[in-house]
Amino acid sequence: MVLAKKRAQPFPVKWGRSFFKGIGLGSFLLTGNFLLYLREIPTKTDPLAEEIRGVVVLTGDKGRLETGLALLNSSRRLLISGVHQKVQFSDLPWQEAPSPCRHQRALVTLGRAASNTWENALESALWIQQQGFSAIGLVSSDYHLPRSSRAFTRILPHVQIHPIPVIHPRDKTWYLQAMRESLGVLGMMICRFLEKL
């Protein structure tokens, strides 16, 4: 009795199943991470306590500089992190600052060393240490704050971080930005996990 030869599978079935399981697991992980990230995004701005003497503003979207400058007072200092080399002190939107604080160079430091969130945190850490602050306000876009707060907390574990969100309308662009930020958080979590292995 002659048995017919089995036709060779071009792609092993068990590999195919593993591949699709991996795709499913990856999709579940990304979706879950994104939904958790959305829950962390602040939806309102709480007044900053008077005893907080330092504020860090991360450059980027419209409204961040204006929000930071509005928090100035005679005893509060401001670091604007990630400032382009061509931007001058006089280019800041000073109309948002309280009248007694306008154009007071001693109150504002322009940080030019950072080009991403991690570098913002490193640049800010040096400034915070020099100023001797134990708590700061952190100004950024609402969708960016969960990721930037994590970076600051990791580099400055003994400093209290008070997020100050600049609220943006939740349109298609906002959700795309939030998704990108959530991937950044996932990457940070994976790096921390690998460091412990």
Tokens in use for 133?
């602050």
How much is the pLDDT for 182?
87
What domains appear along the chain, each with residue ranges and CATH number? 54-168 (3.40.50.620)
pLDDT band, very low/low/confident/very high, at 46 (cuts 50, 70, 90): confident
- Within 8 A by CB and 6+ apart from 168, the residues are 61, 63, 141, 142, 143, 174
Tokens in use for 29?
């992980």
How much is the pLDDT for 38?
85
The whole-angstrom separation of Cα 78 and Cα 157 is: 20
How much is the pLDDT for 132?
95
The whole-angstrom separation of Cα 129 and Cα 79 is: 12
Least reliable range by pLDDT among 33-42, 75-84, 121-130, 151-160: 33-42
Nearest to 127 by CA among 58, 74, 188, 192: 58
pLDDT, tens only, 148-167: 999 999 999 999 999 999 99
Q: Is the pLDDT of residue 183 over 80?
A: yes
* 26 or 139, greater pLDDT: 139
The whole-model pTM stands at 0.81
Q: What are the phi and psi torsion angles at 2 (to 5°)? A: -95, 125
pLDDT, tens only, 70-111: 999 888 999 999 999 999 998 999 888 888 887 788 899 999
Average pLDDT across the chain, whole number: 85
Cα dihedral 161→183→31→21 (10° resolution): -140
The whole-angstrom separation of Cα 4 and Cα 195 is: 53
